[in-house]
A and B are shown apart, each in its own frame.
Chain A
Amino acid sequence: MSVSRDDVLRIAQLAELDVADEALAEIADQMSRILDYVAQLSAIPTNGSVKTFVPGPDAIRFRPDEVAPAPLAFGPEDFAPAFKEGFFVVPKLGQFE
């Protein structure tokens, strides 16, 4: 198995995602199966000079740097979970490892 329970915990921390203890074994198993499956990509030779693919013939182009307002039908006070005096309200920062 390529992914251990500790790997899942480490990745979950990077992804800011709570994973229940009882789900760890199943997630580790499924992630391992997916990663083992996609690992076949490393078995085939690709020329190191192969460029990254960008879809569309010229999908991303420079354009004039003009501010064009996109008005909202209503403001964040109507869709934020907690909003006060122009700010999103969050709990205290706490300890970041």
Chain B
Amino acid sequence: MSDAKAVADRLVKAKRLNALLTPPKDLRKSLLAQAAAARPTGVLYGMPVAVKDNICTLEFTTTCGSKILEGYQSPYEATAITKLKAAGALIAGKTNCDEFAMGSSTEYSAYGRVVHPLDKTRVPGGSSGGSAALVAAGVVPAALGSETGGSVRQPAAFCGVVGIKPTYGRVSRYGLVAFGSSLDQIGVFGRSVHDAARVLSVISGRDPRDATCEDRDPLRLPTVPESLQGFVIGLPREYFPPELDPAVRRACDRAIRMMKELGAAVREVSLPHTPYAVPTYYVIAPAEASSNLARYDGVRYGPRFDGNTDLRGLYRATRGQGFGPEVRRRILVGTYVLSAGYYDAYYRRAQQMRALIAQDFRNVFDRGVDLLFTPTVPSPAFKAGEKLSDPIAMYMSDIFTVTANLAGLPAISLPIGRVKGLPIGGQLIGQAFLEDEMLEAAYALERVVPATDDA
């Protein structure tokens, strides 16, 4: 049992990161109360788990990093939270994130940007940047994030921690604030593969309150394998383009060499529709977001920004003032691609392309490949402000992660080296509901790869 007071102290000390949205006083009080009530027999007994602010909790407010939900207290909690508490974990506050999980740098929060724990001039990645930064800074051993296009794996890679995005349907999304419903999954950060995996195991499994959650038992954790004998690992050539950052390439080459030494068979494969993944994603995700975010209208919950006009004026003023620039942009793009006359050109096309991208993965897995290995992000953490004026440059940061979301597959990012002190992430993409195989390989790789050495 970790000392709840010590955890609260660490969380307060990490204030410079701006990673936590819960006021320190509330957090301390809640942690002490939770520790007193925690189930001593639970498998996560006493483990503090920080939670991204788009996952509903009864202990703390849920703002999604947005002004439009400022001060919002949810009247119910997410199934993932209920499961964590039942396992004895302590909910260690709510973490800062890009507004409604839309962003790749955690600069689009209404509550200020999150600072990279190793270099204050850089971003921690996003959108779950607060969760990643707290785990990387050693404040909590694990945290929950959410993924729509890479929002756990990308910040995990930037911050040098482990990030897992489970198969679509593995974890209940009841209580996860919806962004792109055909893509969203709750994901987990950990300082090690095992820390992340055991939290994932607890929150996974059936939930009658989420129709998209598979009727399966919770994930069973594999043991750490002696070798990777029998594993066939594919290297998709589209993920190693000539313009890939040389240090990222060196770190990947080293990890690949180590997997071979562990006995894995490594072969080059092709996922030919990969170049279309980012444009596909940036049609589907905004389209779904424009629909999901229609509920924020100043009538039922959250603040109301102008009550003196007529009803329509109230909607427009509340949404116009409540949403930040990236959310506004995505709502407008999403509304555009769904509007009459454009639906076939954009949305239907993107849906077809999504099917082809998923088929690419099936083709490779059908030919005997067990897992794919890729860089998680094309470069290490970038400078704050660097990509704010260019949405497309920001979107390209998701180029190696969005495919797993589009195809609904599980994927993990783990640290595989550093360049000039900045972490580099390597990614394993697995087959649907075969997280155990993916975790086995990650355990083996984690044990041998010099994660903090320069590549």
| Residue ranges of A at the interface with B (Cβ–Cβ < 8 Å) | 3, 7-8, 11-12, 14-20, 27, 30-31, 33-35, 37-42, 44, 46-47, 50-61, 63, 68, 70-76, 78-82, 88, 90-96
Partner of B329, one of A31, A58, A78: A31
B316 at interface, CB cutoff 8 A? yes
B168 to chain A, nearest CB (A): 4
Cα distance, A54 to B58, chains bound together (Å)? 32
> Does the CB pair B333–A34 fall under 8 Å?
yes
B312 at interface, CB cutoff 8 A? yes
B382 at interface, CB cutoff 8 A? no
- Beyond the given pairs A68-B209, A70-B209, 9 more chain A to chain B contacts, judged by CB atoms under 8 angstroms and listed by A's residue number, are A11-B335, A41-B280, A41-B353, A46-B349, A55-B408, A56-B168, A56-B212, A81-B304, A95-B310
A15 to chain B, nearest CB (A): 4
Binds A, one of B5-13, B222-230, B293-301: B293-301
A71 to chain B, nearest CB (A): 8
> Does the CB pair B392–A81 fall under 8 Å?
no
Nearest B residue to A49, CB-CB: B352
> Does the CB pair A38–B75 fall under 8 Å?
no
Cα distance, A63 to B319, chains bound together (Å)? 36
> Does the CB pair A42–B345 fall under 8 Å?
yes
> Does the CB pair A53–B355 fall under 8 Å?
yes
Q: Which residues of A contact B358 (CB under 8 A)?
A: 53, 55
B279 at interface, CB cutoff 8 A? yes
A39 to chain B, nearest CB (A): 8
Q: Which residues of B contact A80 (CB under 8 A)?
A: 299-301
Q: Which residues of A contact B209 (CB under 8 A)?
A: 68, 70
Cα distance, A18 to B350, chains bound together (Å)? 28
| Residue ranges of B at the interface with A (Cβ–Cβ < 8 Å) | 58, 72-76, 167-169, 182-183, 208-209, 211-212, 214-215, 276, 279-280, 282-283, 290, 294, 297-304, 307-317, 319-321, 323, 328-329, 331-333, 335-337, 339, 345-346, 349-356, 358, 391-392, 406-408, 432-433
> Does the CB pair A30–B331 fall under 8 Å?
no
> Does the CB pair B354–A53 fall under 8 Å?
yes
Cα distance, A96 to B141, chains bound together (Å)? 52
Nearest B residue to A18, CB-CB: B320
Cα distance, A45 to B299, chains bound together (Å)? 45
> Does the CB pair B75–A78 fall under 8 Å?
yes
Partner of A96, one of B300, B312, B329: B312
Nearest A residue to B408, CB-CB: A55
Partner of B169, one of A30, A33, A56, A68: A56
Partner of A30, one of B75, B315, B391: B391
Q: Which residues of A contact B298 (CB under 8 A)?
A: 81
> Does the CB pair B299–A81 fall under 8 Å?
yes
Inter-chain contact total with CB atoms closer than 8 Å: 189
> Does the CB pair B279–A38 fall under 8 Å?
yes
A9 to chain B, nearest CB (A): 10
> Does the CB pair B321–A91 fall under 8 Å?
no
> Does the CB pair B299–A90 fall under 8 Å?
yes
Knowing A16-B319, A55-B169, A72-B75 are in contact, say whether A41-B355 is a contact too (CB < 8 A): no
Q: Which residues of B contact A81 (CB under 8 A)?
A: 298-299, 301-304, 307
A44 to chain B, nearest CB (A): 7
Cα distance, A27 to B27, chains bound together (Å)? 39
Q: Which residues of A contact B297 (CB under 8 A)?
A: 16
Cα distance, A78 to B276, chains bound together (Å)? 46
User: Nearest 10 A-B pairs (CB), nearest first?
Assistant: A94-B310, A18-B320, A55-B408, A72-B75, A81-B304, A56-B169, A55-B168, A53-B355, A38-B279, A50-B352
Q: Which residues of B contact A27 (CB under 8 A)?
A: 328-329, 332
> Does the CB pair B168–A8 fall under 8 Å?
no
> Does the CB pair B331–A15 fall under 8 Å?
yes
B58 to chain A, nearest CB (A): 6
> Does the CB pair A91–B307 fall under 8 Å?
yes
Sample (20) of A-B pairs whose CB atoms are under 8 Å apart: A11-B332, A16-B315, A16-B316, A17-B319, A17-B323, A33-B392, A47-B352, A55-B183, A55-B358, A60-B211, A63-B211, A70-B76, A73-B75, A73-B76, A76-B301, A81-B299, A81-B301, A81-B307, A90-B311, A91-B309
Cα distance, A57 to B433, chains bound together (Å)? 9
Cα distance, A42 to B276, chains bound together (Å)? 11
> Does the CB pair B302–A38 fall under 8 Å?
no
> Does the CB pair B336–A35 fall under 8 Å?
yes
Cα distance, A93 to B211, chains bound together (Å)? 35
A14 to chain B, nearest CB (A): 5
Cα distance, A53 to B408, chains bound together (Å)? 10
Nearest B residue to A7, CB-CB: B336
> Does the CB pair B346–A38 fall under 8 Å?
yes
Cα distance, A11 to B103, chains bound together (Å)? 22
> Does the CB pair B310–A53 fall under 8 Å?
no
Q: Which residues of A contact B280 (CB under 8 A)?
A: 38, 41
> Does the CB pair A76–B311 fall under 8 Å?
no
Q: Which residues of B contact A95 (CB under 8 A)?
A: 310, 312
A86 to chain B, nearest CB (A): 13
Q: Which residues of B contact A31 (CB under 8 A)?
A: 329, 332-333, 336
